[in-house]
Structure 1
Amino acid sequence: MAEDGRSRRPRRIILIRHGESEGNVDSKKYCDIADPRIRLTEAGAQQAKQCGEKIQDMIRKESINDEWLVYFYVSPYNRTLCTLKEIGRAFENEKKHIIGVREEPRIREQDFGNFQEMHKITAVKKERQRFGRFFYRFPEGESAADVFDRVTSFLESLWRDIDMNRLNTSGTKQQEVNLVIVSHGVTMRVFLMRWFKWTVEQFENLRNPKNCEIRVMQQGEGGEYSLLVHHTREELEEWGLNDDMIKDQERRKYGKRERWINDECVDHWPWSGFQFFDTYKETVCTNKELEQREEEKMTKDEECYFMVNGNGHDIELDNSETPLDVGSTHPVE
């Protein structure tokens, strides 16, 4: 990166999940409406407008001398584009601060296949539960691992834009830049996984963001991005981050990550070097033990796969957002 690359970095990278969609309310919509064309509900539009007001207020209050800029990236799906339109209403009197909007297909929703068939819903989701959410590839669709690959490509392009100072169009004057990315639940979790180098196991324990819920990555004292600058530890725990992941966010907030172990420079990954072996050995098993654990896990999944709510409808215990979610706007806790 250029010598002054750190000063060019956005102060914040704000991830936003779209507002409530018709598919969140009625999963049958996916049977005859293409996923990219699913629209927002009226409630979803209101969520997006309130989210925009919240973001604008946060940026404006924490800026110095009102010198702040916003650059938007948005998924090309109908529900994300409409979400951004409603978010933009909060900036109608601050248009001079908006320096760009870019539609970015690489941050689109995970592809779950084409039109959904209701009679296949239970079988597909049950199979994914047993296979694992990250690596399971939907028929005619994608796995979260596929989303990881395209998010990686997007991040490479993003850093080139930052390095070339393409996100600051104010000439020689350096102003605070904020990136706002309007996307989808799975994509947001994969983005954070890729950025913070979380493991597959850690990804699969994350809770999906609710509609118009945000994740703010903000520069800490050492110039590194952390979720703990804006958010609280309690929020991170609610999202599914474990103690190691939260400690990593604390290090990023208060200082440079290079000085973690006895003031010696180590790799940025928290489990680098012999730490990896100390951590991973707890899960090492013989083939027989692995088979036994897998059998126990499958039995537990069978028992816990469905729960019945007060209306007598089956609701799957699943943390991820998919068009196959039955009758809920966000995952069942």
Structure 2
Amino acid sequence: MQNYQKKALPKRIILIRHGESLGNVDEKIFEITSDHKIPLTPAGMEQAEQTGMEILNMVSEQGKSKDWNVYFYVSPYARTRQTLKGVGKAFPKNRVIGVKEECRVREQDFGNFQDYEKMRELKEIRNRYGTFFYRFPEGESGADVFDRVSSFLESLWRDIDMNRYPDSNYSDNNLNLVIVSHGLCIRIFMMRWFKWTVEQFELLYNPKNAEYRVMELGQGGEYSLSIHHSEETLQAWGLSSEMIADQKWRAEGEGEGDEKRLWNCDAFFDSLAESDASENENGEAN
């Protein structure tokens, strides 16, 4: 994806988790209702509307900016579509340049109708096994979600590169992409985008209902969480000090590609020599 760093890019990519749903307040509903049909609660709709107002104020710079618009991607689940409707109440029609239902940012598949007691047992096993690799019987693992989110990201970059957004010219960074999705899927999206390891992924917490993550374009052409969110907030989400340092670099960096970054190899090797054994102290070949 580094080939796109010098191109005009959307100003923000905003990831929103759906508001409170009936599944959040009564897990037994999954025994009789398909996961994708679980609706929001009235409180969940209120959360969505509040989130919409907050995002409107952000992208419009408290109403001071006259050059901005939004394009939405939404999971096909009932609770995400309803969240989108709640969020959308804040926006004037002329500022919403499009919406696309995107199946690849749907909820992790836990199987079909779910036995309440059995799911409690399986989720305890998942916590011991590891969220990323544990696959639910007849469902998905986090790794499976990673694969489809990776496919979506490739499509997203093509949409950006070919400027497939109607009535949009984001050479002045006036476009905001908003993705309405689910907790684990949002964590996976950020993992894939920022090239976090599985170990780093396991440190993270899911967004709360109607909570959002803002990836904003930095000075050097990299997206960063640290432009809109404080270091304390990133820590509360589970980002390690190394992950936060990387977010700060992305906000303030000068646009160097990944191949020029100094990556921390210590996580993968016990020890590495400072230089080739065939070189002398001056760095010259012996």
Question: Where do residues 83-102 of structure 1 align in structure 2 (5 Å cutoff)?
Answer: 83-91=83-91, 94-102=92-100
Question: Where do residues 42-121 of structure 1 align in structure 2 (5 Å cutoff)?
Answer: 42-61=42-61, 65-91=65-91, 94-121=92-119
- Local SS of the residue matching 2:54: helix
Q: Which runs of 5+ in 2 are unaligned?
A: 272-286
- Contact kept, 8 Å, 2:8 with 2:171, in 1: the verdict is no
Per-residue CA deviations over 1:250-269 (Å, capped at 9, x if unaligned) read 1001013538xxxxx8455x
Moved more, 117-126 or 205-214: 117-126
- Contact kept, 8 Å, 1:134 with 1:200, in 2: the verdict is yes
Partner Cα distance (1:174, 1:228) in 2: 21
- Contact kept, 8 Å, 1:167 with 1:177, in 2: the verdict is no
Q: How many correspondences in the alignment?
A: 271
| Cα drift, residue 4 of structure 1 | 8.8
Partner Cα distance (2:226, 2:5) in 1: 23
Partner Cα distance (1:249, 1:36) in 2: 34
Q: Work out whether 1:143 is the aligned partner of 2:141.
A: yes
- Contact kept, 8 Å, 1:16 with 1:213, in 2: the verdict is yes
What letter is aligned with 1:128?
A: R
Q: Which residue of 1 aligns with 2:219?
A: 221
| Cα drift, residue 131 of structure 1 | 1.5
Q: Work out whether 1:34 is the aligned partner of 2:34.
A: yes
Q: Percent identity?
A: 57
Per-residue CA deviations over 1:207-230 (Å, capped at 9, x if unaligned) read 111001010000111121000010
- Contact kept, 8 Å, 1:168 with 1:175, in 2: the verdict is no
- Contact kept, 8 Å, 1:70 with 1:177, in 2: the verdict is yes
RMSD over aligned CA atoms reads: 2.4
Q: Which residue of 1 aligns with 2:181?
A: 183
Q: 1:64 to 1:158 in 2, by over 3 A?
A: farther
Partner Cα distance (1:178, 1:172) in 2: 9
| Cα drift, residue 129 of structure 1 | 1.9
| Cα drift, residue 171 of structure 1 | 6.5
Q: 1:53 to 1:65 in 2, by over 3 A?
A: closer
Q: Which residue of 2 aligns with 1:240?
A: 238
Partner Cα distance (1:170, 1:106) in 2: 24
Moved more, 167-176 or 135-144: 167-176
TM-score normalized by the length of structure 1: 0.76
| 2:249 counterpart (243, 248, 251) | 251
Q: Which runs of 5+ in 1 are unaligned?
A: 260-264, 284-333
